[in-house]
Amino acid sequence: MLAQRKWRYIDDIIKKLGVNIMLLGNTGAGKSASGNTIMGEDRFLEHFSPQAVTYFSELANTVVDGQRITVMDTVGLSNTQVKISEAKRQIENMLKEKDVHVFLLVVRLGDKFTEFESKLLKWIRQNFGADIFKRTIVLFTHVDQLHEPVERYLHESKSLQSIIHQCFGRYHVFNNRDKGRAQVNELLEKIKKVRMMNGELSRYSIRDYRKVQHDLLMKDCAIGAAVCGVMFFMIAPALGVGKAAQTGAMIGTGLLALAAFLGVIILARKCFS
Ligand SMILES: Nc1nc2c(ncn2[C@@H]2O[C@H](COP(=O)(O)OP(=O)(O)O)[C@@H](O)[C@H]2O)c(=O)[nH]1
Ligand SMILES: [Mg+2]
């Protein structure tokens, strides 16, 4: 009885807070179409032809059964026409506007799981942090084009199982040609469960993103400085630097690498502040 009342209370809070969803995935996976299905109307431009690819990340709001729903549609991360740095800038701008309660990793069913998709997972982990998967649901699209039951299809694909596994077994299936609300309501229930598990107030914010980006940059700087140092010691003998000179050069290079490292840190702090 007490537990039931507690769930109802949490349910109420979640409803009042509304839900912010960010769609991630490759170009053509069905992100914009899924955004439209969730919204119940065409708010995002779907990719009917190569010319109509989404170049911008977009955000749209709606209210369903008294609950505000915000969907953030991002550019396809395999979109060769948009630089990855530009995609990251757009994602960052969106996170400045809204925190994310749940990420939907959109994957097209029926397509061969390519190397690019496994790279995408790695990219997401590196750029958003491994914790993102605690609040991610895999959203499979194009189920209407599948010629076998979805469960069998997923069971036969080791790579798709591995994505689902990374997202703690959470997935949902969409037919974006189906305009009924049943599949959306089911997804919203799954989203609610994810939020309840993470804590109803828990969100992924711009601060989380910047922290991961900052750590990533520091790691790159450390690797860069180490590589510079090692390269110098490798080419120093070839340049005929004597032992005494080499010791001096060693100190010089060390100081230079340190200065470069500190310079990049200052620059990074400026960029991310
Ligand atoms: N038949 C079918 N087509 C879909 C489905 N989802 C998306 N599409 C179509 O697939 C194409 C790519 O979808 P889009 O949402 O633009 O992909 P995005 O690049 O990830 O945003 C569009 O022509 C969509 O209409 C689906 O579930 N079933
Ligand atoms: Mg799109």
Residue 32, ligand 1, Cβ within 6 A: yes
Do 75 and 18 fall within a single domain?
yes
Q: Assess whether the C-beta atom of 145 lies below 6 angstroms from ligand 1.
A: yes
Residue that finishes a domain, picked among 188, 204, 220 = 204
- Are residues 199 and 242 both part of a single domain? no
> What band does 194 get if pLDDT is binned at 50, 70 and 90?
very high
**Same domain for 266 and 150?**
no
Whether 194 and 213 share a structural domain: no
Give the pLDDT confidence of 152-183 residue by residue, as tens digits.
Answer: 999 999 889 999 999 999 999 999 999 899 99
Q: Does any ligand 1 atom lie closer than 6 A to the CB of residue 142?
A: yes
23 plus 129 within the same structural domain = yes
Q: Ligand 1: distance of its center to the CA of 44 in Å? A: 11
From the CA of 52, give the closest atom in ligand 1.
16
State the closest ligand 1 atom to the C-alpha of 73, by its place in the atom list counted from 1: 21
Residue written as tokens 């309501």? 185
* Tokens describing residue 169: 């077994």
The Cα–Cα gap between 189 and 113 comes to 27
Task: Tell which residue, 27, 31, 118, 152, has the closest CA to residue 80.
Answer: 27
- Average pLDDT (195-215) is 92
- Answer yes or no: do 117 and 130 share one domain: yes
CB of 33 shorter than 6 A to ligand 1: yes
d(CA 117, CA 123): 10
Q: Which atom of ligand 1 is nearest to the CA of 106?
A: 20
DSSP three-state, residue 15: helix
46 CB within 6 A, ligand 1: yes
pTM of the model: 0.83
- State yes or no: pLDDT of 136 exceeds 60: yes
Region 117-134: what's the mean pLDDT? 89
244: burial class by Cβ within 10 Å (0-12, 13-18, 19+)? Answer: exposed
Residues 156 and 213 both lie in one domain? no
Q: Are residues 241 and 265 in the same domain?
A: yes
β-bridge partners, 25: 106
Between the CA of 103 and the centroid of ligand 1 the distance, in Å, is 18
CATH of the domain at 95: 3.40.50.300
Beta partners for residue 72, in sequence order = 22, 59
Task: Give me the chain's average pLDDT, please.
Answer: 84
